[in-house]
Amino acid sequence: MDASAPPIALVISDVDGTLVTTDKRLTPATRAAVRRLAQAGIGFTIASSRPPMGLAGLVADLDLRLPLGAFNGSTVVAPDLKILSETLIPAAVARDAVARMARDGLDIWVFAHGAWTLRDPRGPYTDLERRTLGAEPTVVADLDPLLDQAAKIVGVSADTAHLAACETRLAAALGEGADVHRSQAYYLDVTPAGAGKGGFVDAMSRRLGIDRARIATLGDAGNDVPMFSKVGLSIAMGNADPAVKAAARAVTADNDSEGFSRAIDEFVLHRPPA
């Protein structure tokens, strides 16, 4: 890394695939790395595709004190999960997205009014999402009434190749109406246009008065790339796709091999390996 680069003052990390392991655990090494950042006077927060309720456990476990980015950063919340700012998907765009997802045979989840809502509680990955969020979904027969207030829409499929093809088609169809990215190989997220993780970086830079050159970001998926281009130090996880790695300035180990803690020590704190 460039030894002449300005020192990092803030670290913003993705959560799933980055901060936590595949089975959604915070390891002792990750907890210790976040503590080392605090001891060094470096701020730390997260930007995640999760809804605010899915961030509560992380706030408590990591003693987070800065605003957090939920729904890929389009909703900014305080550590007590009070909403500081929120951008919603335009209703017409939300209905178009849901109609196209339905035609592609995807299970559809809608996040609106602070709740996770779906039609089939036994659909793919619902058990995983229950564990991730620590919450039960609201089950309805019709999602349409929620689409005037949707913060995020997710298309879900165990057929990851099919979902990748759906991502390409849906992004082209919605154009500038929404951001379309897979947050996991099996989750296709639709969130408000231009209000993703890159926007969260800008918001935190303004809020804290920290130049973006002094911000580091970590991530593993396509929805993390917009924040990579905004900052002085971008770090891709070892489990990231090649295109995500190519967009970052550095690459660390995977999320099941202490990639987060290794990245903090090597690239942010410049500590010698243990």
Average pLDDT of the chain is 95
Indicate if 119 and 180 belong to the same structural domain.
yes
Note whether 144 and 20 are same-domain residues. Answer: no
CA dist list (Å): 70 to 7, 35, 136, 188, 201: 27, 22, 18, 16, 12
What's the average model confidence in pLDDT over 222-242? 95
**Residue 222 located in a structural domain:** yes
Q: Is residue 134 part of a domain?
A: yes
Given this model, what pLDDT does residue 6 score? 80
The pLDDT, as a whole number, for residue 195 is 83
Global confidence as pTM: 0.88
Domain boundary, last residue among 192, 223, 249? 192
> What residues are paired with 251 via a beta bridge?
236
Q: Which residues contact 201 (CB under 8 A, 6 or more apart)?
A: 12, 47, 73, 212, 215, 217, 227, 230, 231
Is 242 found in the same domain as 178? no
Rounded Cα gap, residues 188 and 49, in angstroms: 10
- Quote the CA–CA distance of 57 and 63 in Å, as a whole number: 10
Q: Answer yes or no: do 238 and 251 share one domain.
A: yes
Q: What is the pLDDT of residue 55?
A: 96
Distance CA 195, CA 168 (A): 20
Q: How far apart are CA 206 and CA 201, in angstroms?
A: 9
For 148, counting Cβ atoms within 10 Å of its Cβ (0-12 exposed, 13-18 middle, 19+ buried), the class is middle
Cβ atoms of residues 221 and 181 within 8 Å: yes
Tell me the per-residue pLDDT of 245-268, one tens digit each, with 9 for 90 and over: 999 999 999 999 999 999 999 999
Give residue 273's pLDDT band: very low, low, confident or very high (50, 70, 90).
low
DSSP state for residue 162 in the 8-state scheme? H
Query: Which residue(s) pair with 239 in the sheet?
Result: none
CATH of the domain at 177: 3.30.1240.10
Domain hosting 112: range is 91-192
Q: How many domains does the structure of the chain reveal?
A: 2
